[in-house]
Structure 1
Amino acid sequence: MLPYRSRRSVAVFLLPPILLFGGGVLLPIIQSLVLSFFHWDGITQMRFAGLDNYTRMLGQDPVFWKAFVNQLLYLVICVTIQMGVGLGIACLLLTITRGREVLKVLLLMPAVISTTAIALLFQRIYSLDPRGLVNSVLDAVGLGSLDQAWLSNTSTVLAAVSVPEGWRFLGLYTIILYAALLSVPKELEEAASLDGAGAWKVFTAIRFPHIRPVWTTTLVMAVTYGLRGFDIPYLLTNGGPGRASELVTTYMYKTAFTSTNYGYASAISVFIVVECLVAVGLIVGIMRRGKD
């Protein structure tokens, strides 16, 4: 047990961030939860709706379910890029002896670039007229027949808006995983290699079990951020064409600030919070079961 003076010191230092977190995160969540039980256009008197907003969302709104499926696909693409590719790059960084620091800086740059700048950049990359990077590369390798307006094609737009988000935080998660890999005891890897273990066996039996806590935490970050992804898809396509790239977050935003249906938008926001909590629970449960 900490002495009374130490406990008081800890409480003094923890109080400001707890108050900020409560006022900036918990209070809006509670307000949204309360508002989700009302019909309100932001001007007239609020009318109690009971569970009407949730009934409409879960059973009577096909647009919501379209957006939910899109959000899951968006999440899969983002997490695959950020965690799968990120882990591969982190392992490669361990083998590089020259220019490693420069590479780490370059990897982190997208995470600090303005979201608007990233959206404008990828609009040019995907552009058909004038020809952007993607279509130019396809022409250069003899696949010019695949040229298209990637953000206007309903079959490609969801992947097209997911890649920038995955790329944006790829470097951040790569550096986190790289730092975790640096903490793996070298003597264990050397002993395994002397016993005849290959690179894959060393990774699965020594490296990954050692970085599992960091991997779990990073995966939680990536998944929850993917479920809340909004800015880049909204800036690139605004959910279009049609509803092909509509996400739950963009649908919630348009429901609130375009349709001025704040009660229904609050119900959608509560759903987003719940799905994030469920995702975190599943990830932690699966990783613990895998550890056991």
Structure 2
Amino acid sequence: MLTHRSRTSVLVFLLPPLVVYGVAVLLPIVQSLVLSLFSWDGITAMQFVGVENYARMLAGDAVFWRAFANTLGYLTICLVLQLGGALVVASLILALPTGRELAKTLFLLPAVISTVAIAFLFQHIYSFDPPGLLNQVLDLVGLGGLQTPWLSDVSTVLVAVSAPEGWRFTGLYMLIIYAALAAVPKELEEAARLDGASWWQLFRQIRFPYIQPVWITTVIMATTYALRGFDIPYLLTNGGPGQSSELLTTYMYKTAFTSTDFGYASTVSVFIVIECLVAVGLITVLLRRRDA
């Protein structure tokens, strides 16, 4: 549909970002794939081991599978907080008669705050001795018996490290979903109200189907970011206590830079890439099939 000159212009403008993407994203993935076939400590010569690293990862590494299970739990908590919270907050802000811009700005602020600052903030919130904000609130409402060292209790640590990540990006996804909801034709909503549709029917039959493409994109974004989550869990607990909050990303990092086993760490990184691709494929197929 484009003239030859237009096609040339499009290619010229696309070339720089494609080159940057290839160098910054595709090349490291290929390098990790190649390195995963070797045993290397970063100093001595690399030794080719073939698929031995993959066999070790899938069949003989209990810590890897514990980290994988923790990653799935981390993903579930993040998705519930981020997508559920974003959808609720966006709907509430859309119903505000005034002050929408201020509300959107306040909810978006956590996404631009330094990760290190967020980690330190939640360390103080979760603190047991001296009591942090969370334990103080529990004591004030008469639930002092529920006070616990949230980051050192194996039964609560995974939720504790997941909550800051969920809170951090809720505002970002809220902004995306809010823009989609605001674009829903008002004529459809008014016609539905005249027919006696309730708020839930209005949302389920008109608003949500209309924002379905945006919702799929947002789910994919949230899923891939959560599967690659690293900084806040690492800063809060470094995977502890034991491996109770160990994620695949923190395990990969420690394998590379603490154990200096770069070949095996690359194997874990390849698995993370495959995991993200599989997740994106499943989300796309399931949501579109349900929509059909």
TM value normalised by structure 2: 0.99
Structure 1 segment 93-108 matched on structure 2, within 5 A: 93-108=93-108
Write the distance in 2 (CA, Å) between the matches of 1:134 and 1:273. Answer: 36
SS at match of 1:151: coil
Write the distance in 2 (CA, Å) between the matches of 1:173 and 1:162. Answer: 16
SS at match of 1:264: helix
Q: What CA deviation, in whole Å up to 9, does each residue of 1:126-182 have, x standing for no partner?
A: 001121110011011100011111001010000000000000000000011001000
Q: What is aligned with 1:48?
A: 48
Q: What is aligned with 2:172?
A: 172
**Which amino acid in the other structure matches residue 59 of structure 1?**
A
Q: What is aligned with 1:209?
A: 209
Write the distance in 2 (CA, Å) between the matches of 1:184 and 1:132. Answer: 43
Write the distance in 2 (CA, Å) between the matches of 1:139 and 1:103. Answer: 30
> Which segments of structure 1 move beyond 4 Å, counting only runs of 4 or more?
none
Q: How far is the alpha carbon of 1:188 from its aligned partner?
A: 0.6
**Which amino acid in the other structure matches residue 98 of structure 2?**
R
**Which amino acid in the other structure matches residue 69 of structure 1?**
A
Structure 2: gaps (5+ residues)? none
SS at match of 2:211: helix
Write the distance in 1 (CA, Å) between the matches of 2:229 and 2:273. Answer: 13
Write the distance in 1 (CA, Å) between the matches of 2:98 and 2:11. Answer: 46
Q: What is aligned with 2:159?
A: 159
SS at match of 2:19: helix
Q: What is aligned with 1:144?
A: 144
Q: What is aligned with 1:7?
A: 7
1:226 has 2:252 as partner: no
Write the distance in 2 (CA, Å) between the matches of 1:99 and 1:198. Answer: 25
SS at match of 2:97: coil
Size of the aligned set, in residue pairs, is: 292
Q: How far is the alpha carbon of 1:98 from its aligned partner?
A: 2.1
Q: What CA deviation, in whole Å up to 9, does each residue of 1:64-110 have, x standing for no partner?
A: 00000000000000010000111011110111112211111111110
Q: What is aligned with 2:190?
A: 190
Q: What is aligned with 1:134?
A: 134
Write the distance in 2 (CA, Å) between the matches of 1:143 and 1:254. Answer: 38
Q: What is aligned with 2:239?
A: 239
TM value normalised by structure 1: 0.99
Q: What CA deviation, in whole Å up to 9, does each residue of 1:39-74 have, x standing for no partner?
A: 000111111111100001111000000000000000
Write the distance in 1 (CA, Å) between the matches of 2:134 and 2:202. Answer: 37
Write the distance in 2 (CA, Å) between the matches of 1:288 and 1:143. Answer: 45
Percent same amino acid at aligned positions?
67
**Which amino acid in the other structure matches residue 164 of structure 1?**
P
Write the distance in 2 (CA, Å) between the matches of 1:130 and 1:92. Answer: 36
Structure 1 segment 237-276 matched on structure 2, within 5 A: 237-276=237-276
Q: How far is the alpha carbon of 1:196 from its aligned partner?
A: 1.6
Write the distance in 2 (CA, Å) between the matches of 1:99 and 1:241. Answer: 44
Write the distance in 2 (CA, Å) between the matches of 1:102 and 1:136. Answer: 29
CA RMSD, aligned part only? 0.6
